[in-house]
Amino acid sequence: MSPVKSAVGHIELAHVTGESGVIEVYLKDGRQFTLLAATPAWFKAELKRLGLKFYYGPAVLFLKKLDAAAARKAAKDMLAEDEQLLVRYDTPRRTLPDILAAFRAAHH
């Protein structure tokens, strides 16, 4: 018997700052996941602006365009592919600019 997949309740794009934001994924079983999202161009510009040569930390979901439709599709596809992807991408309840600033303070 294969495991039953949880269904998506709803998905919200929140804390949008330019081309970065947070995707809030709410499953019908009550679980919630927070995914950091950004466009590659925004991420590259932020690394340059902050003077960072590298980054490691919470996973970032890269989207060609940061909008609600792309966020919804990405989250639903992740859930359909493997529910554990949502677990792996789930982040501390912070925004990507805050995480990069803290990373810079620790590693610059």
Whole-structure pTM value? 0.84
Please tell me the predicted confidence (pLDDT) of residue 2. 42
Report yes or no on 93 lying in a domain. yes
Report yes or no on 1 lying in a domain. no
Rounded Cα gap, residues 90 and 50, in angstroms: 24
Q: How confident is the model at residue 100 (pLDDT cuts 50, 70, 90)?
A: very high
Please tell me the predicted confidence (pLDDT) of residue 8. 79
Report yes or no on 35 lying in a domain. yes
Domain boundaries, position 85: 8-107
Report yes or no on 20 lying in a domain. yes
At 1-16, the pLDDT tens digits run 344 456 878 999 999 9
Please tell me the predicted confidence (pLDDT) of residue 6. 65
At 35-87, the pLDDT tens digits run 999 999 999 999 999 999 999 999 999 999 999 999 999 999 999 999 899 99
Burial 5-35 (b: 16+ CB within 10 A, else e): eeebeebebebeeebbbbbbbebeeeeebbb
Instruction: Report the range of poorest mean pLDDT among 25-29, 78-82, 91-95, 102-106.
Output: 91-95
Report yes or no on 3 lying in a domain. no
Q: Yes or no: say if 102 and 92 are a contact pair by the CB < 8 Å rule.
A: no
Please tell me the predicted confidence (pLDDT) of residue 5. 59
Q: Which of 95, 91, 37 lies closest to 61, judged by CA?
A: 37
The number of folded domains in the chain is 1
